[in-house]
Chain A
Amino acid sequence: MTNALELKDVEKTFGSVLALRGVSLEVAPASVTCVLGDNGAGKSTLIKILSGVHKQSTGLFQVEGKDAVFDSPRDALANGIATVFQDLATIPLMSVWRNFFLGNEIRTGFGPFKWLDVNKMKDIAKQELLAMGIDLRDTNQPIGTLSGGERQAVAIARAVHFGAKVLILDEPTSALGVRQSGIVLKYVLAAKERGVAVVFITHNPHHAYLVGDRFYLLNRGRMIGRYERDNVQLEELTKAMAGGAELEALTHEIAVVRK
C-alpha cells in the first residue's frame, strides 16, 4: 500500500540553524500517525513543511508516492492536505455554517449575478457535522459560542467534507480541558473511519496513545524513535518522550522538595 504521505531524510535549515535533520515519516491512509515532541523539538517546522508554508532544504517529500512541490498552503490544500492550526481556523463572530463554507461558498444565480445558496449550505453543514457525530442545535449560532473542542471538531469536519486525504492537526488538544480533549480525539477517530490519514502533532503522549496507530518521537530536530501501536506501552512512550533518565531524576528531585 502506498503511503498517503512520506518524508525521507528531510533536512531543514534556516541560515545556520538546523531545525530538522534526517527526518523520515510514513503516514498510511486511514490511520492516525502521531508525532510527539516537547517544546523546541521541531514540530512547528515539520508542520510548516507538510502544509506547504516552508520547503524542505534537502530530502524527499512524497504524497501518494509522487514528489510533492508546494508553493503555498493553498497548493497543499488543492493536493488534499488540510491543516487545522492550533490558533483555530474559524471566525468567532460568524455563524457555524458560514465558517464551514468560508472560502468554498456554494452559490446560485444566473450569469454574472450569483448569490449564496444559504439553505443548501445550512443543510449540508448540519448533515456533515452530524455524520462526524457533531450534533449542533443550530448552525446559525456564532461559532464563538461553541466550546473550544467543538470548534476544533467543526474545523476537522470541514477539512474532511472538502476532500482532505491527509489531515494535519497542530496540537489540537493543547488548549483544551480533559473533557473537551476527549471530544476532539473522538473526531480524530471519526476522520480516520472516513478514510483520512491523520497526522496528529502533540506533546501529550496520553492523548496520542488513545488514538494513534503509529508514533514518532521528535527531539531536537531528529526523529529519535518510531513505534507501532502493537508493541508499545503508554509508560514507554511517556518515558521516551521526556528523555527517560531526565524524567527519573526530575521525579526524584520533586520528591525531595515535597518532603
Chain B
Amino acid sequence: MTTVSTTPKDERVKNAGLLVKALRRPEFGAFLGAIAIFILFASTDTTGNFAALGGIAGWTDIAAPIGIVGIAVALLMIGGEFDLSSGVLVGTTGLLIGMLVTNVGLDIWSSIAIALVFAAGIGFINGYVVIKTKLPSFIVTLATFFVLKGANMAFTKFVTGSVRVTGTEKAVGFDSAQALFASKFGAEGFQISLVWWLVITLIATFVLTRTRFGNWIFAVGGDANAARNAGVPVEKTKIWLFVITSLSAALVGIMFVLRLKGMQAGQGVGQEFYYIIAAAVGGTLLTGGAGSAIGASIGALIMGMAYIGIPFSRWDSDWTATFLGIILFTAVMINTYIGRKAKGGKK
C-alpha cells in the first residue's frame, strides 16, 4: 500500500478513460448507431435537404411523438413491465377530446383535462390489474389494447356516424391550446413537440438517475422481491409507471388532435411497437432493471431519420419497416455485447 496518494480516490480503481465510461452507458450503442445512420442518409441523400435545418425539422417531427411515449415506455420496461396499450391510447384520448368538443360542446381545455384524467385511469387500471392478478403485463395490456381498439372504432361510429372526428378547431380555447401543443417555430417549421420531447428527456433522465423514485424503478425491475425486502413500495412504484406511460400517450394524443383538427378512429394502433423499439434500441433491458431515458430518445431519433432518410435517398419506402427491424436486432445485439464487455466480463 502506498501512502503517497492524498486523494480519497481508491488506487485500485483503474483510471477509467472517457471511452470506457462512455461504453458503460446503456445508450452508447444507440448513440453510435444514430451517428452511423445519420452519415448513411446524409451521404445517400438526393435532395440535399436531409442534413439541412428543414430536413432536421422533418425527422425530429417524426421522432418527437415516438420519443415522448418511448421514454415513458422505457421507464416502465426498466421497472420490469410492458404496455402494449400505449399506442391505441393516443387515438382514444384524441377521439375523446374531439367528441367532447364537437358533440358535448365543451371548451378545449376542459376536454384536455378530462382526457388526461381518463388516460391516467386507464394506466391505473392496467397497473392495478397487473399487480392484483399477478398476470404478465404483456397479456393484461394486450387485452386493454384490443378493448380500446374496438371501443375507438365502435364508439366513434356510434357518436359521429363515421370513422373520424372533425372540427376541433371551432372549440373555445383552441388557439391557446394549439400554441402550447401543436404550433411551429423557426423558419424551417420545427414542431413544438420537439421542445416537449427534449424537456421530457431531461426530466426523465433526472428522475431516473437522481431521485428516490428513479432508484425504486431500477429496483422493482431488477428484483421485485429483494426490493420489497428492502422496504421499497413495489406495487405503488409499478402502478405509477403505468399511469405515467398512459399520460405520455395522452399528451401525444392531444398534440395530434390539435394539429390534425380531428382524429381517425384507427390512429395510434401499431405505434406501441415503435415505442418499445425506441426503448430497446436505446439500451433498455427487456427483462427490466437497466436502461436510460436518453437511450429511448436516441432510439426515436433513429426511427425519425429512417422515415425521412429513406424517401430522401429515393429508396422504396415500403422497406422502412424492414429497415427498422434490422436496426432493432442489430442494436440489441450490440448493446448486449457492449454491456457484457463494459462490466469487465464478470458473470
Contact = CB atoms under 8 A, between A and B. Distances in A.
Interface in B200-229: 206, 210-212, 214-215, 218-219, 222-223, 225-227, 229
B211 to A, nearest CB: 5
A25 B166 CA distance: 75
Contacts of A104: 231
A116 B211 contact: yes
Interface string A71-110: 0011001000001010111111110001001111101000
Given A102-B232, A103-B231, A145-B344, A116 B215 contact: yes
B10 A74 contact: no
A114 interface: yes
A110 to B, nearest CB: 14
B134 interface: no
A131 interface: no
A145 B347 contact: yes
A94 B231 contact: no
A200 B19 CA distance: 45
A108 to B, nearest CB: 10
Contact of B211 (A94, A102, A114): A114
A142 interface: yes
Contacts of B211: 107, 114-116
Contacts of B10: 137-138
A237 B230 CA distance: 34
A93 B10 CA distance: 22
Nearest to B228: A73
A195 interface: no
B212 A114 contact: yes
B254 interface: no
Interface residues of B, number: 27
Contacts of A98: 215, 218-219
A144 interface: yes
A85 B228 CA distance: 12
Contact of B223 (A91, A103, A114): A91
B226 A89 contact: yes
A118 interface: yes
Contact of B343 (A77, A114, A138, A145): A145
Q: On chain A, which size bracket covers the interface?
A: 20 to 34
B218 A94 contact: yes
Contact of A137 (B13, B223, B232): B13
Contacts of B210: 115-116, 118
B interface secondary structure, majority:
loop
Contact of B289 (A93, A102, A103): A93
B132 interface: no
Contact of A138 (B13, B225, B347): B13
B218 to A, nearest CB: 6
B212 A91 contact: no
Nearest to B344: A145
B219 A94 contact: yes
A145 B346 contact: yes
A92 B223 contact: yes
Contacts of B218: 91, 93-94, 98
A257 to B, nearest CB: 38
A103 B222 contact: no
A91 B13 contact: no
A105 B209 CA distance: 13
B290 interface: yes
B75 to A, nearest CB: 15
Interface string B332-347: 0000000000011011
Contacts of B215: 94, 98, 101-102, 105, 116
A98 B232 CA distance: 12
Contacts of B344: 145
Contacts of A137: 10, 12-13
A89 B227 CA distance: 7
A176 to B, nearest CB: 15
A103 B222 CA distance: 14
Given A93-B290, A94-B218, A116-B210, A102 B223 contact: no
Contacts of B226: 87-91
A107 B210 CA distance: 9
B343 A102 contact: no
A102 B290 contact: no
Interface in A103-141: 103-105, 107, 114-116, 118, 137-138
Interface string B12-24: 1100000000000
Nearest to B16: A138
A89 B223 CA distance: 9
A115 B215 CA distance: 11
Interface of A: 73-74, 77, 83, 85, 87-94, 98, 101-105, 107, 114-116, 118, 137-138, 142, 144-145
Given A93-B218, A98-B219, A118-B210, 14 more contacts: A87-B225, A89-B226, A90-B226, A91-B222, A91-B227, A93-B285, A93-B290, A94-B219, A98-B218, A114-B211, A115-B211, A116-B210, A116-B215, A138-B13
10 contacts: A89-B226, A92-B289, A93-B218, A98-B218, A102-B227, A102-B230, A102-B232, A107-B212, A115-B206, A115-B210
In the A-B complex, the 5 residue pairs with the smallest Cβ-Cβ separation, listed nearest first, are: A103-B231, A91-B222, A103-B230, A102-B230, A105-B212
